[in-house]
Homo-oligomer: A and B are copies of this chain.
Amino acid sequence: MELWFSEKHTDHCLFSVKVKQHLLSEKSIYQQIDVFDTEDFGIILVLDGFINVCQKDEFIYHEMITHVPMASNPDIKSVLIIGGGDGGTTRELLRYDTIEKVDLVEIDEAVVQTALKYLPFTSCMLHHPKLKLYFEDGVNFVNEKNNLYDLIIIDSTDPIGPGEGLFTKEFYQNCYQALTEKGILINQNGSPYYERDALAMIKATKKMESIFDLVKVYQYHLPTYPSGHYLFGFASKKIDPTAHLDADRWNSLGLATKYYNTALHLGAFALPNYVIDLIK
């Protein structure tokens, strides 16, 4: 028997992966959760039919969501992750001795339980003493928080399903309040390539721009996400991720990375013209 998992990148375009074993198929309160062991990509976590974490290339996503803000402001001590129940962002953050606490707010406890059981490569730090886990809606969590976090990372799915509330202006406004004076917000900002994704990216970026003093977008290559061309948003009160990058300071930490480096940090903010035009 041959077993293939297919993800719809659009209604007219499919990405299919040969499966060695279907390890989990479970409906949580919030979403359909599947875990596959695959020939080419190792373990993949699939939420509502979309690849969320892939063992072969999750390092790209998790390094780029973490080290870009951390290198832009090495004084970050207090971090809030919204989403990110797989643990990959936590794993990268807790490599910094300077970080004193990480709050992780995941709406779906089943994602954390699944990651602990099937994705040890991302969930390995979810029991770390600096980490506090909250199983609740990130939208409520940030409400009425003031001046608490140096960095908020919105490590969310796309704006369909349980992640939808994480793409509203009210939510971004609450994040702004929850950030300290030098605060940075990073958001999973989709892809510029397929039309539906590009529209969501434009909308999120415009909302950010109406609230934050500085908003930039940076890109990375993630082969198992639709089109492989993915973006994070970088919004802040003061910090500029290119002008304020202190490459020597970051490099002096000696953190071994497989994707991120400080030259690529700068390069990632150099966007193609068509992407610049989309967000203009």
Q: A269 to B272, Cβ gap below 8 A?
A: no
A273 interfacial by beta-carbon distance below 8 Å: yes
Q: B223 to A221, Cβ gap below 8 A?
A: no
A169 interfacial by beta-carbon distance below 8 Å: no
Task: State the copy count for this chain.
Answer: 2
Q: A272 to B266, Cβ gap below 8 A?
A: no
Complex Cα–Cα for A9 and B13 (A): 14
In the complex, which residues of chain B have a beta carbon less than 8 angstroms from the beta carbon of A280? none
A257 interfacial by beta-carbon distance below 8 Å: yes
Complex Cα–Cα for A32 and B129 (A): 60
Interface stretch, picked from A15-23, A83-91, A106-114, is A15-23
A249 interfacial by beta-carbon distance below 8 Å: no
In the complex, which residues of chain B have a beta carbon less than 8 angstroms from the beta carbon of A228? 221, 223, 227-229
A1-34 toward B: CB 8 Å interface, digit per residue (1/0)?
A: 0001010001111111110000000000000000
Complex Cα–Cα for A199 and B196 (A): 35
Could you give 16 example pairs across A and B, Cβ below 8 Å? A4-B14, A10-B40, A12-B38, A12-B39, A13-B15, A13-B39, A13-B40, A14-B16, A15-B16, A227-B228, A257-B273, A261-B270, A264-B271, A264-B273, A266-B267, A267-B268
Could you tell me which A residues sit within 8 Å of B by CB distance?
A: 4, 6, 10-18, 38-41, 57, 60, 193-194, 219, 221, 223, 227-229, 257-261, 263-264, 266-274, 276
Sample of 5 more A-B contacts, CB < 8 Å, known A221-B229, A266-B270: A10-B40, A14-B15, A221-B227, A228-B228, A264-B270
A-B pairs with lowest CB-CB distance, top 6: A228-B228, A267-B270, A267-B267, A12-B39, A12-B18, A223-B227
